Structures are given as structure tokens and as C-alpha cells.
Amino acid sequence: MKPTNLLLSLLILLLLSCKQIIDNTPPNLILIMTDDQGWGQTGFYNHPVLKTPNLDAMAENGIRFDRFYAAAPVCSPTRASILTGRSNDRTGVLDHGYALRNQEKTLAVALQKAGYATGHFGKWHLNGLRGPGVPILKDDRHSPGKFGFDHWLSVTNFFDINPLMSENGIFIDLKGDSSKIIVEKALEFIKEKSNQNIPFFTVIWDGSPHDPFLASSKDRSYFINLDELSQNHYGELVAFDRSLGLLRKSLRELELEKNTILWYCSDNGGLRNISPSTVGGLRGFKTTIWEGGLRVPAIIEWPKVIKPKVTQFPASTMDIFPTIADILGLPDSDLLNPIDGISLYPVLKNDISNRQKKIPFRYKDQGALIDNNFKLVATSLSKKEFELYNLKEDKAETINVAKQNQLIFDQMRVEFLNWNKSVDSSWVGKDYPEGKVLKQPKRQFWMNDERYEPYLKDWLNRSEYRDRILRSR
């Protein structure tokens, strides 16, 4: 071979190897979630008054899940499912304000071990405290830092304009729109890590549009024909959508967008008493196991891999950890069994319509089991009362078809009851090496927690805290 040909061949091999290195670069990961946004509250579902141009653009460029489910119809349980891949009751998070058990294995810890920088920004609500969001204490045994986050700018619960937050335990009084604040702070983290060539896992949990609704006058102005409550509610969603636009624009400017997985969803179904309706014609609202309480908008954007499409494949927040674990090839030992979710990685790359593993739900005395088009609903677990719905023909769940599909109904009922027993076993700690649940903080309002007593006098001057503190005395 002539020297020039040999040199050319070596150059081609070098270019190919460089391309392979680039192709094998682990993706950056961003999970962004709203608080109480209903399934119908997006522009891409033709909402009558709300415009969401940035969510719409994201949907046009990614995969839109028309049947995506929060693991529970309230916030804390869904957050627990995202971090663990498990149904919330397994993790000890029965309802809003329960603490996630330290014995659980979390996505953030797994990614830390895989070399990712991990950051949490916004609402946490997994440390056992109720009430409007306050800064998380540095020594809180259930802070984001205890579950694998290197850096966190967080509050215990929902938060609005001009929030008081905690950055790794240091209180920071911030000014401005809360959605914009946490996205800008997350972008500081993202820029720093990308400059260091460190892959990042960034969780952005917004406090909007949770009550008390407080939007800027400009954002309310789009809804002047609505009642004041609804004006502020929808105004908060305008602000969130704008912050999402800032996030996506910044990722493009940083040339990170192609190999960043941006995963958006809401934490539970929509709210009652908001006009127009929040749930897009579905039955039920937040706190119920009907579609309006569980089904939420969801989009995954990953330009390097995902070709834009809309899918009817049923998926849930319990699938997030298994999906990321599959994409990165994380060891099975990083997840605590039993896992209730599945990997959606094949769905991202291929057209798959049917889900092999059913999606289970349990919340208080309610439950459900989704098997593609069929949904078993436990209207009362204590009384073992069940109904069956065909969601393909009846997404509003108006007709109980149990009698017409007796075999399917009986099979799903047995499967759900067996799963429910396994959750009972998890609840008492049988999944943990200790075989039991270690000491957990009690669920309580922060104004009754002695650790916060030193701050109450000053916080009486804050409108978001004042009434709660006075009522607790």
C-alpha cells in the first residue's frame, strides 16, 4: 500500500473511532415536572384558553405520550415513584407529606455511582413535612442530599413568586417568578458541569400551578374573562411554559440539546373548581384513581435518538428509573426489587403499541390496574369492590364493562389482589436487607416541628407563611 493510501486509511479509521466515542457519550438527563397540571392543560391538546407554545414545540420534536400516568393521584407518592421505579406504598410514601425511606435505592444515587453530577431544583416533598414550602434544613435526614443529589436548591413543598429556598442547607431569599428562578439556577449547574465535561442529572420540580395561585399581572392578563382563581392558576402555567422555553433555548445555545434527555410530565391529575376544566374530558380529578386523577401530559425529547411521534403506549412515572437504567446499562443491583415500572427505551426507538407488564396503582382505599385498553378500578379495597373500563372506547370511564368481559375482569382482579399483597409485604419492610422498616420521621406540619421554631417569628412577616403559623398557635 502506498504511504498516501495508508495515511488516508489511518485517518478514516481515526475519524470513525472518534465518531464512535462521540456516539457512546452518555446522555445528559433532565426531569422537569409541574405540580397539579391536568392532562388537558396544554396547547397540543387544544385547550380552549391556555397557550403553551414551548410545550407544543417540545412535543413536535420528541415523543408525546398520550397515555402517561402519575404513579399516584397526589404529589409526594409520584415523586417517590420517579426516584425508585416502585409503587409509592412500597417506599413508605402513602400520601402527600410522607418521607421517603432512606432504605430505598434511588435513581440519583445510581447516577452518582455512574459518574453523573446530580442536582435537584424546586419542590421536594419527601421529607415528612406538610404546609407551604419552606427551606429544607441542612441536617434534615431526608433532604435531597441524603438521596443522591450533590447540589440542591429546594423547598419542602409548593412555592410561588419570591420564594425562600435552601441551597444545600443555606437559606436564600430569592426574588422573581419561581419557575424562572429554578430553571436559571438549574442552568447554572448545567453550564458548570458541561464545562467540566461531566454528564449531569438535573431534576427540576416546579411548584406551579399548585395553590395558592399567584401569577404576575401580565400572565393573568391572558385570562381576563375567567374568575380570579382560574386567572392565577392558568397564569402560573404560562410562566412555567416560558421557563421551559428558556431551558430548551439554553440547551441549544450550549450545544447540549441533541444528547440530552429532557423528560417532562405532571405529578398528578388536574384540580377541581378551575375553569375551563383541567382534565380534558376525563373522569375525576386529583386524589382520585380515575383517569382525571392519574393521567398526565408527558413528553420525552432526545434528538439524538428519538424521531418525533405520538404514542398511545401506556406508561408511567414508575418507568423513569428503569428506562434510564436501561439506556445507561446500570447494574440491576442499583434498583430495589420488586420494581413496578419497565424500560421505555424500546418504545423510544420503535413503534410499539402494546405493553406487556400491567401498570398498578394503590392510593388509600383505592386502586387500579391498567392492561393496555382495559383498566380495572378498585373503588374500595377494603370492600374488594371492582369495576372494569375499556379506555379505548370510553376514556371518560362512563360504562362498567365487567359483566361483558367477565374473564378479563376476573383475571385482572386476581392479579391486582396478588400485587396488592406484595405491596403489603414491601410496606412492612420485607424488601430491605434489615427485613423491617427503620425509624421514620412522623408526618407533620413544619410549623409544629421544633426544628423550625427559631424561624417562626421572622416568617410571620412572609405572606405565604403568616396564616399557617398563626393557625398553629
Q: Is the pLDDT of residue 2 over 70?
A: no
For residue range 118-163, what is the model confidence (pLDDT) as tens digits? 999 999 999 999 999 999 999 999 999 999 999 999 999 999 999 9
CA distances from 206 to 3, 201, 280 (A): 60, 16, 22
The model's confidence at residue 473, banded by pLDDT at 50, 70 and 90, is confident
Q: What value does the mean pLDDT take over residues 289-299?
A: 98
For residue range 81-98, what is the model confidence (pLDDT) as tens digits? 999 999 999 999 999 999
Q: What value does the mean pLDDT take over residues 358-384?
A: 98
Q: Is the pLDDT of residue 283 over 70?
A: yes
pTM over 0.75: yes
What's the mean per-residue pLDDT of the chain? 95
pLDDT of residue 24: 82
Higher pLDDT, 470 or 3: 470
Cell, residue 197: 465535561
For residue range 430-464, what is the model confidence (pLDDT) as tens digits? 999 999 999 999 999 999 999 999 999 999 999 99
pLDDT of residue 4: 52
The strand ranges marked E within 116-275 are: 117-123, 129-130, 151-155, 164-167, 170-173, 200-205, 260-266
Q: Is the pLDDT of residue 115 over 90?
A: yes
For residue range 17-30, what is the model confidence (pLDDT) as tens digits? 443 334 689 999 99
Tell me how far apart the alpha carbons of residues 145 and 301 are, in angstroms, rounded to a whole number.
27
The DSSP symbol for 222 reads G
> Rounded to the nearest 10 degrees, how much is the dihedral formed by the CA atoms of 282, 178, 97, 382?
0
pLDDT of residue 16: 45
